[in-house]
Structure 1
Amino acid sequence: MNDKPSDNLEFRRPTAEMGYPLHRLIADSPPLDPNSIYCNLLQCSHFADTGVAVFDGEQLVGFVSGYVLPNKPDTLFVWQIVISSEARGKGLAKRMLKHLLEREACVDVRYIETTITPDNEASWGLFRSLARDLDTELDSEVYFEKDTHFGGQHDDEHLLIIGPFHVERGSEV
């Protein structure tokens, strides 16, 4: 479904045709980890029910990809969030996450998990703010270690766990 807020941004369910524009948006947004175009196609097709693409006119300006964990049907794992440089600083990431939580695919979701490097202040701030808005706790612990999991080539990734929470749902937005 589409959401047309007063800023004229359009929130859409991803489609495979958005895979290449997503690939370009991520490439233009360092230090985000790039994925292959094929991976981005899967994010936009296989994981479309738990993804949000935001357009300003014909321009993709934001994207959230995630999935409900197979062994935890009450948990949404947020895989990646990207916002174009022109759309940053306007609360779009949190709007996309809240939009996603109102989707039918997230009706049983009571927790959000994601991983973040220790120095990613914007993401830490986003998820702390989201936890406050959801009136719940945020816990974190080291999940993937620099030397053990990344061969020393990537910083530690901390697992953030937000929840439990309850989202009031009206009609899907």
Structure 2
Amino acid sequence: MPKDMTEPRTRKLRLRKPDATDGADIWALVKSCKPLDENSMYANLIQADHFRDTCVVAELDGEIVGWISGHMIPSKDEFFVWQVAVSAQARGLGLGKKMLLELIQRDACDGADHLKTTITKDNAASWGLFRSFAREIGGELADEPHFERDAHFDGHHDTEHMVTISLPAPEMLARAA
């Protein structure tokens, strides 16, 4: 009997905290998302294990297709996003924003009044994501050079701009989600 082609295929998206067994899959995802800097597989394993409350994985039909690593900056009310990775098969779904919203609404990020990340000037995808995210939550976005090409990277990497987004009060944030 032929398959009924009129029934749409539903794809199941799930956002969750990572665990140590996700380290290798996260590493493979980051490696496939050029121009992201690759960390060691061990670094991704540690992030998924020790920083799981401030990191998120996205699964589509059981496969990891998205990852954000982040942490609360010690002694500050600021959440720092280290990397955002979305696989080619999951692009265009608004997954980056969904994962960011998930993270800033977690208990581990309760005290954050700003989200920070660094972006090189030529990374149009990251600028687009964080500008869109700031608009959606009603936050102000500012940036300035932070880790500079010559002073910090010995000329081997473009200057990273520190992007700062003000986060609304939790009750306002709940309305944006």
Aligned to 2:161, the other structure's residue is in SS state strand
| TM-score computed with the length of structure 1 as normaliser | 0.91
Which residue does 1:165 correspond to in 2?
A: 168
Identity of aligned residues (%): 46
What 5-or-longer segments of structure 2 have no aligned partner?
Answer: 1-9
Which residue does 1:3 correspond to in 2?
A: none
Contact 1:101 1:167 in 2 (8 A): no
Which residue does 1:98 correspond to in 2?
A: 101
Q: Give how far 1:7 is off.
A: 4.7
Q: Give how far 1:57 is off.
A: 2.1
Q: Structure 2: how far apart are the matches of 1:144 and 1:95? A: 28
Alignment of 1:9-20 (within 5 A): 9-20=13-24
Q: Give the structure with the larger helix fraction.
A: 2
1:25 aligns with 2:33: no
Which residue does 1:49 correspond to in 2?
A: 53
Tell me which stretches of 4 or more aligned residues in structure 1 moved more than 6 Å.
Answer: none
1:140 aligns with 2:143: yes
What 5-or-longer segments of structure 1 have no aligned partner?
Answer: 1-5
The amino acid across from 2:75 in the alignment is N
Which residue does 2:70 correspond to in 1?
A: 66
- Post-superposition CA distance 1:91-139 (Å, at most 9, x none): 1000000011111111111110000000001111111111111212111
Decide whether aligned partners of structure 1 residues 51 and 113 sit closer, same or farther in structure 2, where only a CA change above 3 A counts. Answer: same
Q: Give how far 1:164 is off.
A: 4.1
| TM-score computed with the length of structure 2 as normaliser | 0.89
Aligned to 1:54, the other structure's residue is in SS state strand
Q: What is the alpha-carbon root mean square deviation over aligned residues?
A: 1.6
